[in-house]
Structure 1
C-alpha cells in the first residue's frame, strides 16, 4: 500500500487498509466532508525564509468571513499533515487585538500577483507577501505541474480591488520572523492530572 517515503514506520498492511475501508463506510466525517476548496500555497518557516515548501490547503467555510484549512505537503492520499490556517475577511482582521494582528499575514499580494490560479476546483496561491521572496524553481515546478502561468494570471487580475484599508502595519509579523519555542511547564488540572499519559499526542 502507498506510504509516504519520509514517514518512519512499517508500511500500511493490506488488512489495515481493508479495515479502514470498511469503517469509512459506516462512520461520519462531518468536518472533513465540509471541505470544499483546495488551495496550493508556497509557505516558508516563520523565522527562516530559505525553508520554502509547497503547501496544499483543504478548506471549509465557517461563515462568509472565515474559513479554516488543513495543510498537507502534497495533494496525494499519503500526504503528511503539516499545519492549519485560518483565513478571515479584512473586517474580522481589523477587530483583532493589535498583539494578535502581527500573527496574521495578508493575502492581497497573491491575489493581485496572480498566484491564486484556478485549477478546476483546486486553486494555486502563495502566502508570501511581495515579489522576490519565492524561489523561482518552486514557482516553475508548480506552473509545469498544473499547467498554469502566474504572470498571465497577474495580468488577468489587474482589475481586482485591493484591501479597503490597505495592508495593516502590524500584519505580516511586521516584517520580522516568528519562531515557536517549546518549554516544559507544570500541567494544571484536577484529579489524575499528574498521572502518566498512556498515549503520546
Structure 2
C-alpha cells in the first residue's frame, strides 16, 4: 500500500493497476482480526477504527500467488494481479462478508456504522480502480 503522494508519482498506466481502499474500509469489509479475550473487543475496535482512518487513503496493488478457492494444494501457475471490490453489488457482500463475520466473531454492519461517522471518505484518484471501470464500460 502506498500513500496518495506516492501514488500520484506513478505513471498513469501504472496507477490503473492499483486499487483504492475506500469501499473496503467504509463498508466494514476490511478488518484487522483481533483478540477474542472478554473485554478486549471494545479496545481493539477503537484501535482498528483509528487505523482505518489511515488505510482509507491508501492505494494497493496485490499479486495472489495461490488460488486457494480452486482447491490447489500448492501455489500453481502464474501470479495474478488482483484488485479489490470498490462498491456494493460487485459480489454477494452479505453472504461472503457475513461468512467472514461468523468465523471471526465480528459484525461488518457495526463496523460500517462506526466508520461512516469516524472515517471520512477521501476523494479517490481518477486512475484508481481501473479494473472495475473497464468492466463497467464493457458491459
TM-score interval for Structure 1 and Structure 2 normalised by the shorter chain: 0.5 to 0.7
Query: 2:109 is matched with which residue: 137, 148, 151?
Result: 151
In structure 2, list runs of 5 or more residues that go unmatched: 36-47, 49-82
Deviations 1:88-144 (A, max 9, x none): 1111111111111111010111111122223217x8xx9210111122322221111
Partner of residue 111, structure 1: 25
1:88 aligned residue:
2
Correspondence list, 1:2-81, <5 A: none
Equivalent residues of 2:24, 2:85 under 8 A apart: yes
Q: 2:9 & 2:121 partners in 1: Cα distance?
A: 19
Structure 2 equivalent of residue 120 of structure 1 = 34
Name which structure has the greater RCO, CA cutoff 8 Å, separation 6+: 2
In the alignment, structure 1 segments of 5+ residues that lack a partner are 1-86, 178-201
Q: How many residues align?
A: 87
Provide the secondary structure at the position in 2 that maps to 1:127.
Answer: coil
Provide runs of 4+ in structure 1 moved above 3 Å. none
TM-score (norm 2): 0.55
State the superposition RMSD in angstroms: 2.4
Report the 3-state secondary structure (helix = DSSP H, G, I; strand = E; otherwise coil) of the residue aligned with 1:171: coil
1:52-101 deviation per Cα after TM superposition (whole angstroms, max 9, x unaligned)? xxxxxxxxxxxxxxxxxxxxxxxxxxxxxxxxxxx111111111111111
Per-residue Cα deviation, 1:19-51 (whole angstroms, up to 9, x for no partner): xxxxxxxxxxxxxxxxxxxxxxxxxxxxxxxxx
Bigger proportion of residues as helix: 2
Q: What TM-score do you get using the length of structure 1 for normalisation?
A: 0.39
Question: Structure 1 residue aligned with 2:121, among 162, 166, 174?
Answer: 162
Name 1:7's counterpart in structure 2. none
1:141 aligns with 2:99: yes
